[in-house]
Amino acid sequence: MSVTGDEIQQLLDVVRDTQAVEIDCDVCLMQVGEFAEDRLAGKLIAEGLKAIEQHLLICPECREEFEALCQAMNALEKPELAGLPGAKDEERKG
Amino acid sequence: MVRDRDNDEWIKSLEAQGPVRESALADLRELLFVGLKSSLKSRSDYVETMLDDFLQDSLIRILQALDQFQNRSRFITWATSIAIRVAMTELRKRRWRDVSLEKLVADSNFDPVSDVEGDTFPERRELVETMYRVINTQLTDKQRTVLLAEIKGMAQEEIAGQLGCTRNALYKLSHDARIRLKQELVRAGYDSQSFAVAFNG
């Protein structure tokens, strides 16, 4: 089994986006919620979250989980669509 | 009715005892149910009967990690991100559990002859040949194995398990390999733009 063109490109992409200092998947997990909330609110990515953005570029698993989180957050905003009538959203950050 | 809470109330309720905690756990479970179901429903490797186990495991992980919540997002967002990690790790584990890393690596390698010899774009062929030369001569066997397994899509957890290291140690192996590759490609005269247009351009 050889390496396909897509796989070579994928490797080149992650090499291009590699930084000397990076966070790992566990750190990403602890902060990706804040990143997702800002992204869904259309906010610019804060300096403190740039490392999350970079990690999502080079880690396909965390990227997949981030996309799933955005879907979940959308569903939680509209619980009736997900089959949970009446979930009451009283809370906002702070 | 399921009740969301502000962050402080979530933490206090989940750290409490008795009915307050039970009520918070029940509400958290329902909210995670909504989030997980929505995020997993389109996956071909997911069946709804898995959801109960995912929720149970997620609640345990969330309770174990409560002291790591930094109040930087809504609590339910943070909790959902953990639940998604739990569910997806399990799904990936099921998908890759019968795949041998040793066999995957034995069956494929970074071989410029088989991968790009017939490529009609000389610049692209040169770039790939340079990258492969670095991979094959300047990376360790473990680093090469990790890069190969990663681009074949093998789950991180599974690669780490079969290599006998933690997921974070695996990440460091991969990072060191990528750094070395980038340094050597830049030294050979390639820039970010040439990486991007190799196969996309």
Nearest CA to B75 out of B25, B3, B11 is that of B11
| Contact indicator for B170, B150 with CB cutoff of 8 Å | no
Whether B1 is in a domain gets the answer: no
Whether B170 is in a domain gets the answer: yes
- Assigned token pair, B46: 């997911």
| Contact indicator for B122, B89 with CB cutoff of 8 Å | no
Query: Is pLDDT larger for residue A42 or for residue A82?
Result: A42
Check whether residue B85 and residue B141 sit in a common domain: no
Check whether residue B85 and residue B105 sit in a common domain: no
A84 pLDDT band, cuts 50/70/90, is low
Tell me the CA distances in angstroms from B138 to B5, B50, B60, B132, B141, one per residue in order.
53, 44, 43, 10, 10
CA distance A68 to B91: 13
List chain B residues with CB under 8 Å of A31: 70, 72
Which residue on chain B is closest to A80 by alpha carbon?
Answer: B34
CA distance B195 to B113: 20
Whether B13 is in a domain gets the answer: yes
Check whether residue B40 and residue B54 sit in a common domain: yes
pLDDT at A37: 97
| Among B35, B70, B167, beta carbon nearest to A76 | B35
| Among B5, B39, B72, beta carbon nearest to A72 | B39
pLDDT at A55: 96
What are the residues whose beta carbons fall under 8 Å from the beta carbon of B20, sequence distance 6 or more?
A: B13
- Assigned token pair, B88: 């997806």
CB pairs under 8 A between A and B: 180
Check whether residue B78 and residue B144 sit in a common domain: no
| Among B4, B81, B195, beta carbon nearest to A32 | B81
Report the complex ipTM: 0.89
Whether B158 is in a domain gets the answer: yes
Asked if A89 and B77 come within 8 Å (Cβ–Cβ), the reply is: no
Check whether residue B52 and residue B126 sit in a common domain: no
Whether B179 is in a domain gets the answer: yes
- Of all residues in chain B, the percent with pLDDT exceeding 70 is 93
pLDDT at B118: 66
pLDDT at A65: 97
Nearest CA to B138 out of B175, B177, B106 is that of B177
Instruction: For residue B184, give the H/E element and its range.
Output: helix B167-187
Whether B2 is in a domain gets the answer: no
Check whether residue B106 and residue B184 sit in a common domain: yes
Which residue on chain B is closest to A36 by alpha carbon?
Answer: B77
* End-of-domain residue from the set B62, B96, B130: B96
Task: Please name every residue paired with B3 in a beta bridge, in sequence order, or none if there are none.
Answer: A88
pLDDT at B193: 79
CA distance A89 to A68: 20
A58 pLDDT band, cuts 50/70/90, is very high
In angstroms, the separation between the Cα of residue A22 and the nearest Cα of chain B is 8
Task: Please name every residue paired with A88 in a beta bridge, in sequence order, or none if there are none.
Answer: B3
Asked if A34 and B31 come within 8 Å (Cβ–Cβ), the reply is: no
Check whether residue B117 and residue B194 sit in a common domain: yes
Q: Does A27 touch chain B (CB under 8 A)?
A: no
pLDDT at A79: 58
- Assigned token pair, B61: 């992980």
pLDDT by residue, tens only, chain B of 201 residues = 787 899 999 999 999 999 999 999 999 999 999 999 999 998 999 998 999 999 999 999 999 999 999 999 999 999 999 999 999 999 999 999 899 999 888 887 787 666 666 666 778 888 889 999 999 999 999 999 999 999 999 999 999 999 999 988 999 999 999 999 999 999 999 987 777 666 655
* End-of-domain residue from the set B81, B96, B111: B96
Domain residue ranges of chain A, discontinuous segments joined by +: 16-78
Q: What is the pLDDT of residues B113-172, one digit of tens each?
A: 666 666 667 788 888 899 999 999 999 999 999 999 999 999 999 999 999 999 889 999
Check whether residue B58 and residue B116 sit in a common domain: no
pLDDT at B156: 93
Over residues A51-65, the mean pLDDT reads: 96
Domain count along chain B: 2
* Average pLDDT score, chain A: 86
What are the residues whose beta carbons fall under 8 Å from the beta carbon of A59, sequence distance 6 or more?
A: A25, A28
SS3 assignment, position A88? strand
* End-of-domain residue from the set B96, B116, B150: B96
Q: What is the pLDDT of residues A17-28, one digit of tens each?
A: 999 999 999 999
| Residues spanned by the domain of B106 | 101-200
Check whether residue B44 and residue B133 sit in a common domain: no
